């Protein structure tokens, strides 16, 4: 098999900076749409955070990933129906992409002003 | 809030045994449809197995959950495109349900004779 | 390839009734964990309902599936952030399973008394 | 509520072009990680294609979305286990993003040279 990175690069009709932004977006879409719906409560929330981080780090060009899940809705002595389904509003994620000479930080969190779980680029350096 | 288990039980028009089987099915559907697609390779496979187990244990009536992911397709010194997306064929899961006087074991794994990732009840005791 | 239904049946260590309940649970877990998180608003909600129904009907032993998504949170003249992510609380599903001589109806909907999106068996006949 | 687009824009520390690339990536991650795992066969494949397209069009800045699912593995007269679970390798998607003065085309399809379902930017114009 030929060098797959050369083949991949040849498919992109844009700059390395464009691609870095694109790769960041893919990761945010992955975090949200792969994991929203997962059963979560105090007993597995730490574990789920690590697991999302580690899954995202498997994807291309991710140099770091931090995920925090909002524990506000969790109860300590609930019944068997007290767990939650992970929602986008509960996720706080910071993902760093390094691609060629571009370093980019992307974040996702519930934006109270917007009433929307916004994904955005908070820093990009060439 | 009233006792939620009494309310839940009142909604079911069937026996405890029927419900135990039903609850087992829900868990198998959850494992498959929540986690299929997750990026996975040697670096996060142990972690993902634990995370699926722990998420399933959060759901009602699960007394135990064991998940193994097939490592056959994984490579040690691959490039950045060498990871896999989790498929149903890669999952081996054993979930134990305890509901009232019923104990049930449900399993999911690729059945080579069928060419299909079969979910089934391997044991039920009242 | 041998008759796959005979192979599947031989894996189950339980009655046809048990299996019908189990198969119903799988379908409910599928609806929830496959589709929760899907972007939805007035423009695609009818379409998404049909698509979930049709996907579930593909699974074994489903003779009928009806899905309704709660439109209460949808707005008519919103901005580009006004769509929703599908949640379990928004789903009302009724799935009929027919397996050998067993006919079973399973339902999922938000139970206001429980504050929980309950999946349950509402009818079973042998 | 203030104009949400102004708030969103203020969160992005990058150009409109960067954001267009990022938004395209989010959509590709959504298609893959929301829908991989969905039960699909000849009876619902057209329907699922439309449903993915329509769900993606609900997301911000999508002006067009075309999705084709590979029918090669489907059989006409199969048994009840002959359906497939949607995989990334089966998806061919073309999504057009328009954001301010930027128009961008993003594609996803299995790349046989790479042996990988590649997501890439095939065109970008300012």
Instruction: Flag if B114 and C4 touch (Cβ within 8 Å).
Output: yes
Compute the nearest-CA separation of C116 from chain A (Å).
Answer: 7
Report the residue of D9, D10, D18 to disrupt the A interface, i.e. the one with the largest count of A CBs within 10 Å: D18
Distance CA B73, CA B90 (A): 9
| CA distances from residue B76 to A54, B42, B43, B48 in whole angstroms, order as listed | 17, 7, 9, 18
Instruction: Flag if A79 and B4 touch (Cβ within 8 Å).
Output: yes
Distance CA D17, CA A15 (A): 11
Report the relative pairing of strands D102-111 and C84-85 from DSSP bridges.
Answer: unpaired
The pLDDT assigned to A2 comes to: 60
Instruction: Flag if D121 and A34 touch (Cβ within 8 Å).
Output: no
For residue B41, count other CB atoms closer than 10 A to its CB.
20
Report the relative pairing of strands B84-85 and B39-40 from DSSP bridges.
Answer: antiparallel
Distance CA A6, CA D99 (A): 29
Per-residue pLDDT tens, chain C, 126 aa: give them: 469 999 999 999 999 999 999 999 999 999 999 999 999 999 999 999 999 999 999 999 999 999 999 999 999 999 999 999 999 999 999 999 999 999 999 999 999 999 999 999 999 999
Compute the nearest-CA separation of C100 from chain D (Å).
Answer: 14
Task: Find residue A65's DSSP bridge partners.
Answer: A95
Distance CA B103, CA D106 (A): 50
Percentage of the residues of chain D whose pLDDT score is greater than 70: 98
Does residue D2 carry a pLDDT above 80? no
Is the C-alpha dihedral spanning A20, A23, A29, A32 positive or negative? negative
- Terminal CA-CA length for chain A: 31
Chain D CB contacts of C5 under 8 Å are 79-81
| Cα nearest neighbour of D116 on chain B | B81
Percentage of the residues of chain B whose pLDDT score is greater than 90: 98
Chain D residues with CB under 8 Å of a chain B CB are 32-33, 36-37, 81, 85, 87-88, 114-116
Is the C-alpha dihedral spanning D99, A20, D58, D116 positive or negative? positive
- Which whole number is the average pLDDT over B67-83? 95
The pLDDT assigned to B13 comes to: 98
Distance CA A22, CA A16 (A): 10
What is the token pair recorded at D31?
Answer: 């298609």
Report the residue of D83, D85, D90 to disrupt the B interface, i.e. the one with the largest count of B CBs within 10 Å: D85
Q: Going by C-beta distance under 8 Å and a sequence separation of 6 or more, which residues neighbour residue A89?
A: A70, A110, A117
What is the token pair recorded at D30?
Answer: 């959504």
Compute the nearest-CA separation of D86 from chain B (Å).
Answer: 10
Compute the nearest-CA separation of B100 from chain A (Å).
Answer: 14
Per-residue pLDDT tens, chain A, 126 aa: give them: 469 999 999 999 999 999 999 999 999 999 999 999 999 999 999 999 999 999 999 999 999 999 999 999 999 999 999 999 999 999 999 999 999 999 999 999 999 999 999 999 999 999
Chain D CB contacts of B33 under 8 Å are 37
pTM of the predicted protein model = 0.97
Give the CA diameter of chain D: 56
């Amino acid at each position: 098999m030929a060098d797959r990175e050369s083949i991949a690069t040849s498919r992109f009709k844009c700059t390395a900076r464009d691609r870095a932004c694109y790769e960041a977006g893919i990761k945010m879409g992955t975090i949200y749409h792969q994991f929203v719906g997962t059963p979560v409560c105090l007993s597995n929330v730490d574990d789920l955070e690590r697991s999302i981080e580690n899954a995202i780090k498997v994807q291309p060009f991710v140099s770091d990933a931090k995920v925090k899940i909002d524990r506000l809705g969790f109860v300590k002595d609930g019944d068997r129906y007290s767990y939650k389904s992970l929602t986008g509003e509960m996720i706080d994620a910071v993902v760093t992409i390094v691609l060629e000479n571009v370093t980019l930080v992307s974040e996702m969190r519930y934006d109270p002003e917007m009433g929307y779980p916004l994904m955005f680029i908070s820093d990009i350096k060439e």
